Structure 1
Amino acid sequence: MTGTAFTDFRTPRSVLFMCRMNAIRSPMAEVIARAALPRGTYVASAGVRHGERDPFVDVVLEEIGLSIGRHQPRTLDELEDDYFDVIVTLAPEAHHVALELTRSMAVEVVYWPTPDPTVAMGTREQIVDAYRAVRDHLSALILSRLAGNGLRKGA
């Protein structure tokens, strides 16, 4: 973890998930967090670079009753708001950019290393399994570190 941890264990009021292209990991985390966090929590996602929507994200989210809706990948420059209680980075490049952007801001930056499922090879089922693993990894982290108990030290 980078930065200081929340000491009052509250659920953050606003969360930004960042990855490289806002096509897989960060939008998946955004959708899962919206479902898991209390109503009124502002959740967004963005990428360091512009990406293309990935249809496998729809497949694995629909399996757990969630939908990415009309989400289109967006960069940090395209965000409507730029203040967040916590920024969760999911890829090394995003983490470095977040640290640089928040150098003079009172915002928590947390790094959750998350594999890129696009590197998976094999059958369609093997590829979808890689996306499922990312979905399940993000769900577990969101539920254990953000939902209910808030961001905990060591997150």
Structure 2
Amino acid sequence: MHLRKKPMTKKNVLFLCTGNSCRSQMAEGWAKHFHGDTIEAYSAGIETHGMNPHAIAMMKEAGVDISSQSSKLADSLSKVPLDLVITVCGHADENCPSFLTKAKRVHVGFDDPPRLAKEAASEKEAFDAYRRVRDEIRDFIRDRLPDLLP
């Protein structure tokens, strides 16, 4: 007698940020990279600011290509049955669209690389800010995300 394994259903996880240009895009990329077999990762914003070219470059530097991702509004995912919504900035946490409250919601704030880059004294310091946040998001996604899934 052969026991059939029940096909595993991927969990739908949304990373929400204000403009869906940097942090949430990095989180989506890392989630696909580390957990693509168990998670269907999405990212969206309260607004759309377009893809941040520095975020794309810093992720590519780390071996993850997010250049095919796009900046989109959270409303565009209203038909996706989300299991988990992770807000990655305070503004998104405070202004999370009401339809997203049906899913488990967790806030994990990360510094805003574009804001840090504006305050940087040099281009190297600006890119180091992107790298630091990229790596913090990587560590969170790799090490803590599986424990947050419902």
User: Closer, same or farther in 2 for the Cα pair 1:89/1:25, shift >3 Å?
Assistant: same
Range with greater deviation from structure 2 (72-81 or 46-55): 72-81
SS of alignment partner, residue 20 of structure 2? coil
**C-alpha distance in 2 between matches for 1:82 and 1:97:** 19
- Per the alignment, residue 48 of structure 1 pairs with 46
Q: Is the 8 A contact 2:30 2:142 kept in 1?
A: no
Quote the offset at 1:125 in angstroms.
1.1
- Per the alignment, residue 140 of structure 2 pairs with 141
Q: Which structure's CA Rg is the greater one?
A: 2
SS of alignment partner, residue 26 of structure 1? helix
Q: Structure 2 unaligned runs (5+)?
A: 1-9
User: Between Structure 1 and Structure 2, which shows a larger proportion of helix residues?
Assistant: 2
Quote the offset at 1:80 in angstroms.
6.8
Superposed CA RMSD in Å reads 2.2
**Quick one: which amino acid aligns to residue 148 of structure 2?**
L
- Per the alignment, residue 14 of structure 1 pairs with 12
- Per the alignment, residue 9 of structure 1 pairs with none
SS of alignment partner, residue 110 of structure 1? strand
TM-score, length of structure 2 as denominator length: 0.82
**Quick one: which amino acid aligns to residue 91 of structure 2?**
E
**C-alpha distance in 2 between matches for 1:77 and 1:62:** 28
Which protein, 1 or 2, shows the higher relative CO under an 8 Å CA cutoff with sep ≥ 6?
Answer: 1
**C-alpha distance in 2 between matches for 1:127 and 1:20:** 20
| Percent of aligned pairs sharing the same letter | 27
Q: How many residues align?
A: 139
- Per the alignment, residue 73 of structure 1 pairs with 71
- Per the alignment, residue 119 of structure 1 pairs with 115
User: Closer, same or farther in 2 for the Cα pair 1:98/1:130, shift >3 Å?
Assistant: same
Q: Structure 1 unaligned runs (5+)?
A: 1-11
Q: Is the 8 A contact 1:37 1:146 kept in 2?
A: no
